[in-house]
Structure 1
Amino acid sequence: MGRILLVGRLAVRDLRRRRVETVLLLLAIMAATTTLTLGLVMREAANDPYQSTRGATNGPDVVAGSAVNPGGRPTELSGLAELAGAPGVVDHSGPYPVTPAELQASGRTSDVQVMGRDSAPAPVDQPEVTQGGWVSDGGVVVESAFANALDVRVGDPVTLGGRSFEVIGVAVTAAVTPYPETSCLVAAGCASGATPEELSGLPAGVLKNPGLVWVTQADARSLSPDPGSLSYVMNLKLADPAEAQAFAEANTRESRGAPRLESWVDIREEATESAADAQILLLFGAWLLGLLAVASVSVLVGGRMADQTRRVGLLKAVGGTPSLVAAALLAEYVLVAVVAAAAGLAAGSLTAPLLAEAGAGLIGRAGTPPMTMSTVVSVTAVALGVAVVATFVPAVRAARSSTVGALAGSARPPRRSGRLIAISARLPVPLLLGLRVAARRPRRVLLNVVGVAVTVSGIYVALILDAFLAADPLAAGVDEAQAGWLRQVLLVVMVTLFALAAVNVVFITWATALDNRRSSALARALGATPGQVSVALAVAQLLPALAGAVLGVFPGGFALFHAINAITGGDGDRVTLPPLWQLLAVVSATVLVVAALTAVPARLGGRRPVTETLRAELA
């Protein structure tokens, strides 16, 4: 118990002595844990709007649709009638007639599925009117996401199947997937969420990205050229909604003309598909931030280890064992990781509802989802993993160092050769000093390269996804509003990534300046100017930044994009990779931004008084 108490006191005291570095460390790990939490809870948070819509509309547990036999002969409605009386069914509405048609509104033409409904409320699936009123003769009610895509409002005139109608309402329903992935209700077949290339090869009669509208049953039948070709839809309510999937599977028949059944679980999965896309973006963002956090924490640890070297020597000189020294060093970062995990869990769970918007086809907002134990364990494990991976090797190395060496605390001297000295003698002073600074801390240079490469890889993927969502939302299976929301999620991830990368670059430069106080002072004592020393510190960061930017474009960004594409099951042929000029601009901008970020700490580090620095080192 006394050993644990001693380690805890040493860790807390050291954290209190270096408050700024502790806060930076906390923020670095918290950025990764917050984004990971967002990714893990996004899907659960997005389910709430669908459940709100389902509750407000008394949504069905199973939707059954009739089919048409080959030759155009309609199936008898006896199959739907049998389902209405099947065991477990407690209520139903319909069957309602559905017919395909063409809608012209706001100068745009679109295929639609026209459903005939009664003016009186239905016991199962009564669409919730969000604007205007419900169906009446000569009026049409438009599904909300479809109305948003067409930019139609209550009172607008539309042409439906060659006849003039007026938009009298906008409504939402939980019985079909919102536009553009609207469930197919007609026997002719639909291609929902299809790309222009896919639409061009469809046979005649297949509806192309259809929307959903409601009219009276009389108007729906009058829009059908052949009453015998009408399809029908029935909504079923079960005694136990949890059995909806099993009910649909048990009552599905392989025979021709058998009704098609879809459970509310399947509809929810499709309705929240954009939330799944956002979840993938956030999870990949979390892994990118996790990698960057490892680099940031490693730099923080390296910088603090340089200051703690003498402290390690003192601990060992007074009798501390290597295991005690290593435990004391690790305890600091484990404690910060636990606090960062708790903060990330809280921030992520509270932010998830802001990102998981309901969308145009659903009502309500996402509430704060319950925090599951698996999410807590996963996020905490990642936070501890980041801290341990970044600190284990430096802590063990410091613990195993000799007492005399620890008290001396010198950095690794660069390797020298005659040929290298001959070449370096011809270099400008800032470049010569910069290469020497980089050679003293090769692991820090590698971490700098990795950090920049991770950031640029994220930029590479963001450019592709942003251009894809902006140019062709339907190809991504979302409407324009959902595409804009996904771009906002992507922006959140990238802003967090940029902020953490900027902190990483600044701290690397500052840690490098602190490590090279004595060598910089000696260089100035031998004739180097403060400006040359400052430029040398900046050069030591710009060279790794250039290497990291190039590696971040290829193979980093290229590989990351194809990994995301493989996991999401997307079609990489639909997207266009960034042109060469854009990639060159990213690399150039990265180097310029790193130069700007390193300017201030490099200038401060290069202008320390020479006499005071040398006196402090000798003390």
Structure 2
Amino acid sequence: MNALGPTGPTGTRIAEPGAIASPPPGDARDGRTGPSGGGGGALGRVVRAGVGRRRVQTVVMVLTTLLAVAASVLGAGLLVASQGPFEQAFAKQHGAHLSAEFDAAKVSSAQLAATADAEGVAAAAGPFPVASLRMESAGPPGIEPPPVTVVGRAEADQPVDQVNLVEGEWATKSGEIVLETSARTPGIVVGSKVEATGPDGKAELTVTGIAESVGESADAWVLPAQLSQLAVSGADSSYQMLYRFDDADSPSAVAAGKKAVSAGLPDGALRGAQSWLDVKQIADNNVSAFVPFVSAFALIALAMSVLIISIVVSGAVAASTRRIGILKAVGFTPSQVGRAYVGQALIPASLGALLGVVVGNLLAIPMLNEVETAYNTSALLIPLWIDIVVPLAALALVVAAALGPAMRAARLSTAVAVNVGRTPSEGRGRHVRGLLARLPVPRSVSLGLATPFARPARAATTAAAVGFGALAITFAVGLGSSLFAIQADGNPDSVGDVTVSTVGRPGAPERSGAGDREAPTRGDEGTVPGTGSRSDGGATGRDEQEGRGAPGTTTGPQDDVKPADPAQVEAAIKAQSGTGSYFGTGKTFVSVAGVKGGTPLVVYEGDAEGAGQVMVSGRWFSAPGEAVAPARFLQATGAEIGDTVTLTDQGRSARLKLVGEIFDLGDQGMAVRADAASVAQIVPDVKLDHFTVDLASGEDKGDYLDGLNTQLKEIGGVATSSDDSRTSTVIVVMQSLIAMLTAMLVVVACLCVLNTVVLDTRERVHDLGVFKALGMSPRQTVTMVLTSVAATGLVAGAIGVPLGVALHHLVMPAMGRATGTEIPAVSIDVYGPGILVLLALGGVVIAAAGALLPAGWAARTGTARALRTE
């Protein structure tokens, strides 16, 4: 230690925190400094020297600005870039804001044509005859292709929904059909033959073109005359109308338009309708789920940036009071002094902002790839204006945060600044120190507890930074727990102890227990919070695993797999020792008015009530004619709990009352679930393909699987543990992003504490020498320094944890709404008392981690050197 300030291990002088380098020698009026010369060159050297010497503070500001800008660029970029392709393609095709299906027995084509003049309708197309047909193709044994929505339409070019022909040409005569891209079977090309069910058997059609309807108005198109020949005998006739509205930017606006077009029609004429917002939501599904939590991290990072930069600049001013006086004495104006401190914050912040833009764009690449695949577009990038506006806005916040303490430095009187220097005000915190000395704790602890009261404003802002760190950790733990809970809760078929499938895989192992998962799974597995994308044609989960894809598709590899006889599988389950209870499920596809393509229908045999399915609202079905459905189905059909929906297939129909909303992420949230007896009149031949088994009390699952698979091996089925599940790739990406953003926030909070403790320790280095002279050991010195931040960390953690819980409870429902899913409370309430206590202690850990380095420096400082410091 020397008279000029503290020294490092080698005896070289350590720059004061926040010190501004002295101006070069020379007259204040020589053109380099002072009012006459403008001070540009000297001021720049002062700023650069200050940035170079304050390395810790510089790193803190670079990191916090980098994180804030990266998260903001990512959140805003995903929101804008993911919506761009759909909206552009939709506008180019004049897509339908509302696709409506009307009962031809209750309304005429002339009446429907007149709805084009309804209030709020900008354009309309139709009426077109529409029917739900099954188009046959080769597939795995026992699996029937789902129905497809076929529209009779003479031309692709219409005022609404100008279908884009991707290949071939439009159908011009009977026997021809145009397929929508999402309904295209693998291997189907222009000229291929497909079979559609007609009143006199199967009719062969030639594929003349492949077209794309961004609004998802149909699966296929034929001439109107051809459709009448294909219609199933006894089936109700329907018309399709396509509308564009003057205002369709919100669900309420679309609902108002729907009400307007159906106002003058007979009751029951409107069978169903599909909003373009539902189609858009499915298209943007997985990317939309990222936006709420990334935006939350961005706001946390921005708040921390403002706090930390304020702390750093304020600390620099407090630590350099005497130097500020010297700068003024040699000719620097108050304005130049203020600009110097703003500049010292702006330089590292600019570097952090630049790096943040790069990091944000890199993180967006895997998520935007999904949108590229869905719309077959060229490489998507975050818009340039976001890369410009976000960092500029962040730098504006930096300037605003630095301006207050910088102007305080500018207003300091030269004489007062030179004389006072960096000596703390007399008596600051000493009264509190005296009170704490009376506590029955070691003196090093009481001294540490009193330290924050010497600089209460600095302690408060440091506590805020630590509190944001605790908030981020709490938020991240909740997000991670909820995401895993959502994946488990969102698969209604993953209940019970054991799942038995009738569709085994060639060479499937005898045992498929936990960790040995080679047999096909139950599927219907969602991502988070939604599943699939526009490009998957609506096939997800079990469909993909069993060879059932988009309408009429087949995957090929399982064509040689013969499903086991469900009766034999059920007999094996009954005969197996350890079986408690069980129920079976089968899956098919039916038609619902207004919904394009086939709607998945899962039928149950046996008592499935109370099996563990998660209900968002209402209850599980318990009587004939009752059903449950997920949120997206309710949105797509406009139905509510208590309403009745009509399912149709091959001219047969069944009316089901919706008694509950189930949390189901499979099949794009469109699967209806009901008892087999309730839908026997429309799908009498559905075969059970899965059985869910609950084991008897005390039964070992591994032994049970071994015994049951021994029986099933001969008949082709396979049993697996119900808790075997693959983690969604979307969840993996989310968890990785959450972990990275949280780690960066915690590191920034630790560096903020480090910066504060360095300032406090160096300001009190003379006091430290006195304590050492009176007998304070290095261990006691470390204890004193760590205690000075531990109390602050404890208070900050106690405040940050409940704020993190509140943020989590706000963001999770927003993620669900962004993907058209209502997330149940059980998947959100993931914080237990023990976890909350541990999270509250996270503030202490963050504070202690940041204080360790300066505590070690204080412990190693020699007594004589400390006492010689002014």
Q: TM-score, normalised by structure 1?
A: 0.70
**2:55 equivalent to 1:3:** no
- Which letter maps to 1:268? K
Specify the SS of the correspondent of 2:149: strand
In 1, Cα distance between equivalents of 2:444 and 2:230:
81
Instruction: Report the equivalent of 2:131.
Output: 97
Specify the SS of the correspondent of 1:454: helix
String of CA shifts for 1:472-522, please: whole Å, max 9, x gaps: 355975125555554454344323322322332333333333333222222
Offset at residue 312 of structure 1 (A): 0.5
**Structure 1 pair 175/404, CA: closer, same or farther in 2 (3 Å)?**
closer
Give the structure with the larger helix fraction.
Answer: 1
**Structure 1 pair 504/415, CA: closer, same or farther in 2 (3 Å)?**
closer
Pick aligned residue for 1:127 from 161, 168, 181: 181
**2:807 equivalent to 1:560:** yes
- Which letter maps to 2:79? R
- Which letter maps to 1:580? P
Offset at residue 281 of structure 1 (A): 1.9
String of CA shifts for 1:270-296, please: whole Å, max 9, x gaps: 522543442222222111011222232
Instruction: Report the equivalent of 1:309.
Output: 321
Unaligned runs of 5+ in 1: 141-170, 178-182, 186-212
In 1, Cα distance between equivalents of 2:299 and 2:438:
40
String of CA shifts for 1:308-349, please: whole Å, max 9, x gaps: 223202112224343432232223223444444344334434
**2:235 equivalent to 1:228:** yes
Specify the SS of the correspondent of 2:841: helix
**Structure 1 pair 417/519, CA: closer, same or farther in 2 (3 Å)?**
closer
What's the C-alpha RMSD, in Å, of the aligned pairs? 5.2
In 1, Cα distance between equivalents of 2:845 and 2:773:
30
**2:586 equivalent to 1:579:** no
Instruction: Report the equivalent of 1:522.
Output: 770
**Structure 1 pair 295/100, CA: closer, same or farther in 2 (3 Å)?**
farther
- Which letter maps to 2:804? G
Offset at residue 93 of structure 1 (A): 13
Offset at residue 404 of structure 1 (A): 4.0
**2:462 equivalent to 1:448:** yes
Instruction: Report the equivalent of 1:434.
Output: 448
Pick aligned residue for 1:281 from 259, 269, 293: 293
Offset at residue 96 of structure 1 (A): 5.2
Instruction: Report the equivalent of 1:115.
Output: 149
Offset at residue 572 of structure 1 (A): 8.3
Instruction: Report the equivalent of 2:57.
Output: 21
In 1, Cα distance between equivalents of 2:392 and 2:468:
22
String of CA shifts for 1:164-217, please: whole Å, max 9, x gaps: xxxxxxx9976457xxxxx9x8xxxxxxxxxxxxxxxxxxxxxxxxxxx88999
In 1, Cα distance between equivalents of 2:275 and 2:293:
28
* Structural mapping, 1:131-170, within 5 Å: 132-134=186-188, 137=194
Specify the SS of the correspondent of 2:131: strand
Instruction: Report the equivalent of 2:423.
Output: 410
**Structure 1 pair 490/596, CA: closer, same or farther in 2 (3 Å)?**
closer
**Structure 1 pair 92/603, CA: closer, same or farther in 2 (3 Å)?**
farther
Offset at residue 552 of structure 1 (A): 0.9
Offset at residue 405 of structure 1 (A): 4.1
Instruction: Report the equivalent of 1:548.
Output: 796
**Structure 1 pair 528/349, CA: closer, same or farther in 2 (3 Å)?**
same
Specify the SS of the correspondent of 1:62: coil
In 2, Cα distance between equivalents of 1:78 and 1:477:
43
Specify the SS of the correspondent of 2:132: strand
Q: Is the 8 A contact 1:330 1:392 kept in 2?
A: no
Specify the SS of the correspondent of 1:228: coil
**Structure 1 pair 569/591, CA: closer, same or farther in 2 (3 Å)?**
same
Offset at residue 41 of structure 1 (A): 1.7
Specify the SS of the correspondent of 2:460: helix
How many residue pairs get aligned? The number is 541
Pick aligned residue for 1:296 from 264, 289, 308: 308
Offset at residue 114 of structure 1 (A): 3.5
Specify the SS of the correspondent of 2:383: coil
Offset at residue 544 of structure 1 (A): 0.8
Instruction: Report the equivalent of 1:588.
Output: 841
Specify the SS of the correspondent of 2:430: coil
Offset at residue 426 of structure 1 (A): 4.2
Instruction: Report the equivalent of 2:530.
Output: 478
**Structure 1 pair 417/518, CA: closer, same or farther in 2 (3 Å)?**
closer
Q: Is the 8 A contact 1:137 1:216 kept in 2?
A: no
- Which letter maps to 2:474? Y
Q: TM-score, normalised by structure 2?
A: 0.52
- Which letter maps to 1:602? A
String of CA shifts for 1:127-147, please: whole Å, max 9, x gaps: 15898334965899xxxxxxx
Offset at residue 451 of structure 1 (A): 1.2
Instruction: Report the equivalent of 1:535.
Output: 783
Instruction: Report the equivalent of 2:589.
Output: none
Offset at residue 82 of structure 1 (A): 9.2
Pick aligned residue for 1:372 from 377, 385, 389: 385
In 1, Cα distance between equivalents of 2:734 and 2:470:
20
In 2, Cα distance between equivalents of 1:577 and 1:272:
27
**Structure 1 pair 111/297, CA: closer, same or farther in 2 (3 Å)?**
farther
Offset at residue 545 of structure 1 (A): 0.8
Offset at residue 550 of structure 1 (A): 0.6
String of CA shifts for 1:577-610, please: whole Å, max 9, x gaps: 5111110121234423543443233112321222
Specify the SS of the correspondent of 2:320: helix
**Structure 1 pair 491/95, CA: closer, same or farther in 2 (3 Å)?**
farther
Specify the SS of the correspondent of 1:472: helix
- Which letter maps to 1:371? L
**Which has the larger displacement, 21-30 or 486-495?**
486-495
**Structure 1 pair 365/358, CA: closer, same or farther in 2 (3 Å)?**
farther
Instruction: Report the equivalent of 1:36.
Output: 72
In 2, Cα distance between equivalents of 1:254 and 1:559:
44
**Which has the larger displacement, 285-294 or 19-28?**
19-28
In our comparison, the structure showing a higher alpha carbon Rg is 2
Specify the SS of the correspondent of 2:853: helix
Specify the SS of the correspondent of 1:320: coil
Instruction: Report the equivalent of 2:175.
Output: none
Offset at residue 235 of structure 1 (A): 8.1
* Structural mapping, 1:177-326, within 5 Å: 227-229=234-236, 252-256=261-265, 257=269, 267-268=279-280, 270-326=282-338
In 1, Cα distance between equivalents of 2:262 and 2:867:
87
Q: Is the 8 A contact 1:96 1:233 kept in 2?
A: yes
- Which letter maps to 1:520? L
Q: Is the 8 A contact 2:99 2:275 kept in 1?
A: no
Specify the SS of the correspondent of 1:98: strand
Instruction: Report the equivalent of 1:198.
Output: none
Q: Is the 8 A contact 1:322 1:399 kept in 2?
A: yes
Instruction: Report the equivalent of 2:618.
Output: none
Offset at residue 110 of structure 1 (A): 13
In 1, Cα distance between equivalents of 2:392 and 2:471:
26
Unaligned runs of 5+ in 2: 1-35, 153-166, 171-177, 198-209, 491-525, 532-727
In 1, Cα distance between equivalents of 2:233 and 2:852:
76
Specify the SS of the correspondent of 2:449: helix
**Structure 1 pair 68/90, CA: closer, same or farther in 2 (3 Å)?**
closer
Instruction: Report the equivalent of 2:745.
Output: 497
In 1, Cα distance between equivalents of 2:856 and 2:482:
42
- Which letter maps to 1:3? G
**Structure 1 pair 309/449, CA: closer, same or farther in 2 (3 Å)?**
same
- Which letter maps to 1:560? L
Instruction: Report the equivalent of 1:157.
Output: none
In 2, Cα distance between equivalents of 1:547 and 1:313:
37
